[in-house]
Amino acid sequence: MKYNLNVNKKQLKTNTLNMNNNLNSNEETGYLEITVTDAQTGMPVRNVLIEIFELIILGQFAERGYSRLIERYATDENGRIPITELPVSEWPEHRYFAILEGFGYHSVNLVNIPIYEGVTTVYHVELNRITSPEPVREYIRTPTRIENYYPTPPVWFF
């Protein structure tokens, strides 16, 4: 853990990655798995840009925050990205979100991604094709499944 934010005379814990995107060895970690398919055909979608961000919430009333890019991937021919190891979420001050953008598809945001120690959080995202000029961005709050966590873990909301 690194303590580097001083807000209202309180220091907040923030998880950090080093410059090589390797996790600090003393942090508890979990995993994120994302697969992307076409909503109409069910076929995998390749070359979808997926950016995973860390979100730190600040302020006495959680009125502001900042984010930083952790990883950027493009999906492979199977619509997958590498399973990503991340520090455990420290709700409510520390959260993850991801932005998915594929050519010809509406964008999708995964919000409040939960990461638990030694557990894989799985999202199977179905992208909808753009069929009108109206810009649409979809939001997903709940993972498709969470593996190896018993009993069922809590899922956070806004």
| In a domain? residue 39 | yes
155, part of any domain: no
CA dihedral 81, 84, 90, 94 (to 10 degrees): -50
Q: Per the domain annotation, does 157 fall within a domain?
A: no
Mind giving me the DSSP string for the chain? -EEEEEETTEEEEE--B-TTSPBPTTS-EEEEEEEEEETTT--B--S-EEEEEEEEEESTTS-EEEEEEEEEEE--TTSB---EEEEPP-TTTEEEEEEEE-TTB-EEEE-S----TT-EEEEEEEEPBP-SSS--EEEE-S-SEEES-SSPPP----
Question: Which structural domain, as residue segments, surrounds residue 35?
Answer: 2-9+28-147
Specify the CATH number for the domain of residue 127.
2.60.40.1120
**What's residue 49's pLDDT?**
98
Residue 154 lies in a domain: no
What pLDDT, on a 0 to 100 scale, did the predictor assign at position 2?
A: 36
Look up the pTM and report it: 0.76
Confirm whether 156 is domain-assigned: no
pLDDT for residue 126 is more than 60 = yes
Structural domain total, the chain: 1
65-89 per-position pLDDT tens digit: 999 999 999 999 999 999 999 999 8
With respect to residue 46, please indicate whether it lies within any of the assigned structural domains. Answer: yes
Residue 42 lies in a domain: yes
**Domain-located, residue 22:** no
pLDDT digits (tens, 9 = 90+) for 2-55: 333 333 333 333 333 333 344 444 589 999 999 999 999 999 999 999 999 999
Residue given tokens 């520090």 in the structure block: 87
